[in-house]
Structure 1
């Protein structure tokens, strides 16, 4: 079986939840099934031409424009033509509801389609009304025409079932995983180097990892940072894909106590997780937040907004604050040590990428058994695996 992946910018070390998902998933699928060929059709602005493989996965950069509205859809269209006539794919794995718009084209080209729903992107403030309508239609096309559908989030799957009750049997919940390896960030010299570059002291900073876009709520965190204890800093890891006024406004607030570190490779973020006093994710919108899973896996204290996707992690009530409530967030930041520690071993077991890869591989293999139509699948999530 030859699988071609579309809908992501590229791998490895490309900023974004979908990209992290693919970087962790596909190499594991290849190790489990060496007979399966997996090719990622990356976007050239994000992956250099000399990158042709990553951990057993073929990387094929193809042309793409850098544009907030047309980048993903145009790259997906070109990618489908490439997958059909150059790669000779058996299956395309399409990620996110925007690229989902073109699933009917994939079917017309004779390709089987597995679609992964990473979140209700049409709820993001950055999109105008036309874009939101197009994204909703992309979700509908994915639900109607894909051969298999995966949701990384149980709340998202339930939302889809509520809106499209006839599609209830077509959705399989396979979550994101805790992406960083257990030993990541443990090298003392490397950790000291990363912290020194940013002017940080272990245990004397609060951090977040996110793109600089409104739905991540970084503006709330920056405003609430005034509540941090004396001498404690806020570190924001992540950049802005297309720049813009929002990101520029945030970056203008950099100071001795508010550090914008920019995008960083995951290997260099690990020491920050391990040495932070608190990880905060103030998002207004998520699918299933990989960065929160990473922080939990590294043993960090975690504070999350109380949106459904974050509450699906089932942490203690004290690990949440009302989304958008800056005063509540400021009160939490005043005493980071009061935020409960989560059970790291439980997180690693519940969101195990090896188990996730095996479940995803089983879903792909089932395509050969059902002749292009859905086999009804129950809603399965990490809850079922953990008993």
Structure 2
């Protein structure tokens, strides 16, 4: 599960409690939602079809979704997550819906897209600006960049970050999580962890290279998977060994246990929106080491918590240092990045869109 999914999972149940007279329906892709209809904490979840292949999957599902929203749900407000789905905002506008777009990441910078996909995503960015009634950016630098490039839309661009306190809430996903470390043959305090999709922009290839060169007495644990098996994810999984462990996707108590038991969390990414995984690690009390891309620096950590993106040599050196050096102020993270505040700010945006 990626950052957008985590964002929606934590935001909408709180919004529903705050806006009791409104009904909420989340529309997703059939490939990831096996049940045609389901419910989660008062939120109706609908799974719709889509074309196969990464270049058409999102856009076809978004087209079906906007038609379903208008003619089945009779929605008055459509909240789109990401600049890919924002491509269909002109259709939604023609059908009479108000539109909010949450801009999570500059997806056109991701390496997986060819020139056509990148062009389409840039058009989606323009559509979000042109047709969105309000736009939410999850990082401060992203909001500032959008206001700089689109000054005519500055008054409708809002910075609302992701939250980080969801791992503190009790979950029921796994009851046997005390065994999660033994399941992967891990010892508390003797492994380094990273979390994310197995895609090039996460930079896990750099981390594996730096870890192997550092030759430290730790294991490296990579939590996450890819949407589909491709050359890149296969090359990462081929590195699995006694000292490099792939767990697949973990959530809730299992993820919290893995993070709390780690000596260090590393995020070597080349591209982010606002890194929920890094926030989760900070809340878990785990020392944090991040690449120095702007969205990571938006978290406002100390200089020693960052290394130059793509610099394997510097990362190798940082892995050999005392990991306690990278401790962060957990309470400050909880104060700045909590879902109650995110919900309250989002509610204000909803209220400003008269629907």
Q: Normalising TM by the smaller chain, what interval? A: over 0.9
Q: Is the 8 A contact 1:24 1:179 kept in 2?
A: no
The Cα shift of 1:64 comes to 2.3
Q: Distance in 1 between matches of 2:296 and 2:170?
A: 24
1:193 aligned residue (174, 179, 194): 179
Which residue number corresponds to residue 168 of structure 2? 182
Q: Is the 8 A contact 2:287 2:324 kept in 1?
A: no
Question: What whole-Å deviation, never above 9, does each CA across 1:345-368 have from its counterpart, x for those lacking one?
Answer: 110110010111011112112212
1:153 aligned residue (135, 139, 143): 139
Which residue number corresponds to residue 35 of structure 2? 49
Q: Is the 8 A contact 2:167 2:256 kept in 1?
A: no
Q: Distance in 2 between matches of 1:64 and 1:334?
A: 46
Across the two proteins, how many residue pairs are aligned to each other?
A: 352
Which residue number corresponds to residue 382 of structure 1? none
Gap regions ≥5 residues in structure 1? 1-14, 372-387
**Helix, strand or coil for the counterpart of 2:241?**
coil
Which residue number corresponds to residue 363 of structure 1? 349
Which residue number corresponds to residue 10 of structure 1? none
2:262 aligned residue (276, 294, 307): 276
Which residue number corresponds to residue 275 of structure 2? 289
Question: Is the counterpart of residue 80 in structure 1 residue 52 in structure 2?
Answer: no
Q: Is the 8 A contact 1:221 1:329 kept in 2?
A: yes
Q: Distance in 1 between matches of 2:51 and 2:187?
A: 41
Question: Is the counterpart of residue 112 in structure 1 residue 98 in structure 2?
Answer: yes
**Helix, strand or coil for the counterpart of 1:52?**
strand
Residues 87 and 51 (structure 1), Cα distance of their counterparts in 2 relative to 1, 3 Å cut: closer
Question: Is the counterpart of residue 122 in structure 1 residue 111 in structure 2?
Answer: no
Q: Is the 8 A contact 1:40 1:57 kept in 2?
A: yes
Q: Distance in 2 between matches of 1:140 and 1:266?
A: 36
Please provide the CA RMSD for this pair.
Answer: 1.6
The Cα shift of 1:336 comes to 4.4
Question: Is the counterpart of residue 132 in structure 1 residue 118 in structure 2?
Answer: yes
The Cα shift of 1:251 comes to 0.6
The Cα shift of 1:229 comes to 5.7
Q: Is the 8 A contact 1:227 1:333 kept in 2?
A: no
Which residue number corresponds to residue 251 of structure 2? 265
Question: Is the counterpart of residue 216 in structure 1 residue 213 in structure 2?
Answer: no
Residues 252 and 336 (structure 1), Cα distance of their counterparts in 2 relative to 1, 3 Å cut: farther
2:306 aligned residue (298, 317, 320): 320
Q: Is the 8 A contact 1:217 1:324 kept in 2?
A: yes
**Helix, strand or coil for the counterpart of 2:24?**
strand
Question: What whole-Å deviation, never above 9, does each CA across 1:84-133 have from its counterpart, x for those lacking one?
Answer: 00001010100101111110110001111011000111111111111111
1:37 aligned residue (8, 12, 23): 23
Q: Is the 8 A contact 1:277 1:336 kept in 2?
A: no
Which residue number corresponds to residue 290 of structure 2? 304
Q: Distance in 1 between matches of 2:122 and 2:169?
A: 40
Q: Distance in 1 between matches of 2:35 and 2:326?
A: 45
Mean Cα deviation higher: 51-60 or 89-98: 51-60
1:163 aligned residue (149, 163, 173): 149
The Cα shift of 1:266 comes to 3.2
Gap regions ≥5 residues in structure 2? none
Question: Is the counterpart of residue 60 in structure 1 residue 46 in structure 2?
Answer: yes
TM-score after normalising by structure 2: 0.96
**Helix, strand or coil for the counterpart of 1:158?**
helix
Q: Distance in 2 between matches of 1:152 and 1:354?
A: 15
Q: Distance in 2 between matches of 1:308 and 1:362?
A: 27
Q: Is the 8 A contact 2:164 2:283 kept in 1?
A: yes
TM-score after normalising by structure 1: 0.88
Q: Is the 8 A contact 1:27 1:56 kept in 2?
A: yes
Q: Distance in 1 between matches of 2:22 and 2:169?
A: 29
